[in-house]
Structure 1
């Protein structure tokens, strides 16, 4: 398996696994309507993740000549950003677990068709600027970011999309059964810890490659 594709898979799961408002909306849509509607919403989230990953990967390629002289320091900065995101996710997960508060989800009215669900979830997910920061830090932190190839960038984006789509479709397919487990305080704690651990591991790999 290509290293770029594998890296995309890890990055995609790192950003997709936490159960928040969007995940709960997907679960609710699937439970109240049908799997088709939930799947459309799931693929919309994966599309947004893929678009942000493409922006970071191919944008990084265009800036290769500029960042080459400072690639080492940039990898350190990228690692610090990733560690900060991991720490923030861990703090948010632990705070929510202690307070026993579930993340609020949009009401989801008027999303009873696959087309409407896809458009709405795509827009909601694209409104999260932290996602592009996450992928930009990953791309700049990779050793080959100073000389990326179009094929590697495409494989990275494909890995992100596959990871995000598989997780979101699992949520849609699980419906109320899996939804109760993942949306419970224990479920949110576990998924938040897993995500933070993945992001921290990516940060350490970035530091070790510098």
Structure 2
């Protein structure tokens, strides 16, 4: 497979993993509406960086590390559950008046780190990368160049999705009234609580 074709397929993998509506998507939407496009984009970049890290493990086929991450699935899932519930409560308690503040500087770094940690709280993602990359590489361990191409493609695909989502939400947000922004905030907070509770129950029930 040519480098361009491999990159294109890996880009689609990154896009497909990022695109489904989930906790990170809700965070990007909520932060974009509240703090602006930059906040939403760096949140997505944090998630994309975690995807790239897991993609690296998947490409390298690090069996011991994969097994170790799998054993950590329960505590990490519980961490993710608690983190989502906290984010949901914080979103519901935050006043609409705070909307114009806290969108730059250290706040942006915090948005990226929180999304990175939340994405890493699902270590089983690495197993999907192992399976997908095995298919792309023809069931053979990819070489160094092919591995870099696949990891880069995953990262770019993920970033592209978050860039489009933050840009679209930012554009729509400028047309929404304060009342509708608050309603969307409330919906995002409730959904984050729901995702957190579901993740915790699923982790405990195995």
Given the two structures, how large is their TM-score scaled by the length of structure 1?
A: 0.59
In structure 2, what is the equivalent of residue 193 of structure 1? 190
Q: Which runs of 5+ in 2 are unaligned?
A: 1-8, 134-146
Does residue 172 (structure 1) correspond to residue 145 (structure 2)? The answer is no
The residue correspondences of 1:19-58 to structure 2 (distance < 5 A) are 19-20=30-31, 23-26=33-36, 41=38, 44-45=41-42, 48-49=45-46, 51-58=48-55
Q: Which runs of 5+ in 1 are unaligned?
A: 27-37, 109-119
The residue correspondences of 1:1-210 to structure 2 (distance < 5 A) are 5-10=15-20, 12-17=24-29, 19-20=30-31, 23-26=33-36, 41=38, 44-45=41-42, 48-49=45-46, 51-58=48-55, 60-61=57-58, 64-96=62-94, 100=95, 102-106=97-101, 124-128=107-111, 129-138=113-122, 140-142=123-125, 144=127, 147=130, 149=133, 150=147, 157-158=155-156, 160-178=158-176, 180-184=178-182, 186-198=183-195
RMSD: 4.1
In structure 2, what is the equivalent of residue 117 of structure 1? none
Residues 90-139 of structure 1 show CA distances to partners (whole Å, capped at 9, x for unaligned) of 2213333xxx454353488xxxxxxxxxxx68x7533432121112223x
| C-alpha distance in 1 between matches for 2:169 and 2:154 | 23
How far 1:80 sits from its partner (Å)? 1.2
Q: Is the 8 A contact 2:61 2:130 kept in 1?
A: no
Paired residues, number? 177
- Name the SS for the 2:80 alignment partner: helix
| C-alpha distance in 1 between matches for 2:191 and 2:61 | 32
How far 1:145 sits from its partner (Å)? 5.8
| C-alpha distance in 1 between matches for 2:157 and 2:17 | 7
